[in-house]
Amino acid sequence: MNADEVRDRNAELDDRILSTVDSVHPGRLHVLEAKPDGVEAWSAAMVLAHVAEFSRFFADELRRFLADPAAPVGRTHEHPERLAAVAAAGSRSLDDLRADLTAAFANLAAALDAVRDDHLTMVRVNRRYGPEPLTAFLDRYVLGHKQSHAEQLADLVEEAR
C-alpha cells in the first residue's frame, strides 16, 4: 500500500464503524454477549470506547514514529489508558460514544495526512515486537486493529437482532 491507500482504507473503516454505530440498539449497548471459554466478552459500548481510545493513542504514536527515530512505539494489552477506556464504557451513552469516535477518527486521519510514501519503510522499535517498518505499525495498530473491531461490532449488532 502507498500512503494514499492507507488513508483511503482508514477512511473506509471509519465509515464502516460509524455506519454500524447507527445500527446499535441503545438498549443493547451495554449487554455483554456470551463468548466461548477463554474469550473475553465485550459489549458494543466497550468496543466503541476502545476504538476511540486506540485511535487517539495511535495517532499520537504515529506522530512520534515520524518525529523521533529513537522513540519506541506501541503498547501491550495491559496499557492503563486502554483498560480505563474499556472500564468506563459502561456509563457512557451511544451519542457520547459516537461523538468520541468521530473526534478520535478525525485526529487519526489528521496524523495519517502527514504520512508520505517514503515514510512507509521507516523502521522504529516497537515496544512489543522490536524493530519494524511503519507499514507493520499501521497494519497492526491502525488498519488491522480497526478491521477486527469493525467485524466485532458488526457481530455484536447482528447477535442482538
Mean pLDDT throughout 126-144? 91
**DSSP-based helix, strand, coil % in the chain, nearest 5:** 70, 5, 25
Q: pLDDT tens digits, residue range 74-123?
A: 765 665 676 667 667 778 899 999 999 999 999 999 999 999 999 999 99
Q: How many CB atoms lie within 10 A of CB 79?
A: 15
Q: Which CATH number fits domain 3-159: 1.10.3720.10, 1.20.120.450, 3.40.50.300, 3.90.1150.10?
A: 1.20.120.450
Residue 148 has pLDDT above 70, yes or no: yes
Q: pLDDT tens digits, residue range 27-53?
A: 888 888 766 666 677 889 889 998 999
Per-residue model confidence (pLDDT) at position 82: 65
pLDDT band at 16 (very low <50, low <70, confident <90, very high): very high
Predicted TM-score (pTM) of this structure: 0.89
CB 3, CB 71: distance < 8 Å: no
The three-state secondary structure class of 72 is coil
Per-residue model confidence (pLDDT) at position 87: 66
